[in-house]
Amino acid sequence: MVPAWISNKYNLAALLIALVLDYAYPRHRGLSLAVHPVHTSFLLARRLAPPYSSALRGALAWLAVMASHLAVAASLLYAAWRILGAPGWVVAAALVYKHSISLRLLLQHSARTASLLGSGRLGEARLEVSNIVRRDTSSLSGGHVASAAIESVAESLVDGFTSPLLYAALLGPLGALAQRVANTLDGALGFKTPEYINAGRLSAYADTVLNWIPARLTGLLIALAAPLAGGSVSGALHAMARWGASTESRNAGYPMASMAGALGVCLEKPGSYRLNPQAPCPGPGDVYRANRVAIAAAALTLLLVAALAAAV
């Protein structure tokens, strides 16, 4: 438990430190990667719930991974408070937040994809975008590569930034970490394949519930941020209302459709969905515009989090 005298100002200070760290050190390597909760929770989930596990084993694996990671983080926060007081707690909380929030690395991958597309290096662009999407990119056209990058920017803005920050405002660093680990468990087990259809049932459901509000809120924030990239607020809101529920994921379609409407482009995953289908396919310039919208939406999220922290 965080003592009552650790007020919201310390929580906000830890968040700001974490954001500076994310900007300065977006890619984890060495020991930082080895202890990163996204890395460790993924490996542990796959070990505890191997392919063709039952729904019960998958649920137990979910509980074990969540409990173990939250226990480690809680112990770190408590020890820092007991030994070093508020300054120690801020540093420990900043480390937890740093491992729960990710934005700059996503934007780097998408910008790199746009640069490669712009210089005509389609094969390299396909490989680059494969770092941030789960689909097969080996035969995608240039427009579909740009679409994949923009879709990932919109969807991952929820998973890696908006959602953990909202839970941080409500529940502190353990809330942000819980959201991040739950999202990783969905990425590890939540597949509708014969290998994981049972094992990943709880993981997929929990991620859907946790991100239900953040996904729709992010869609609204993208719409509000659209003018900063020459986009349309009304276009984003219309697209989100019209196509937000047209993806297999109950959450991902809302920020993606909003981004499609904001930029005036069609985002398409071949054989799965088309968002804002009457618009043209995106190009490299649209990927850069999507990054600008995401940065502006992230700034709006920070303002909202500060307001929520003050209210709570």
pLDDT in tens, 131-161: 999 889 999 999 999 999 999 999 999 999 9
* Residue-level pLDDT at 3: 44
* Residue-level pLDDT at 7: 64
* Residue-level pLDDT at 312: 63
**What residues of the chain score a pLDDT lower than 70?**
1-7, 312
* Residue-level pLDDT at 5: 38
Residues 254 and 211: beta-carbon distance below 8 Å: no
pLDDT, tens digit (0-9, with 9 covering 90-100), for 86-127: 999 999 999 999 999 999 999 999 999 999 999 999 999 999
* Residue-level pLDDT at 6: 47
Nearest to 142 by CA among 167, 123, 170: 123
**Based on C-alpha coordinates, what's the Rg of the chain?**
19
Distance in angstroms (rounded) separating the CA atoms of residues 178 and 226? 30
Distance in angstroms (rounded) separating the CA atoms of residues 40 and 44? 6
Residue 13 in tokens: 């200070």
Residue 93 in tokens: 């909380």
CA distances from 140 to 128, 130, 268 (A): 12, 11, 11
Amino acid identity of residue 26, one-letter, is P
* Residue-level pLDDT at 308: 77
Distance in angstroms (rounded) separating the CA atoms of residues 93 and 84? 13
Distance in angstroms (rounded) separating the CA atoms of residues 169 and 284? 35
Amino acid identity of residue 99, one-letter, is H
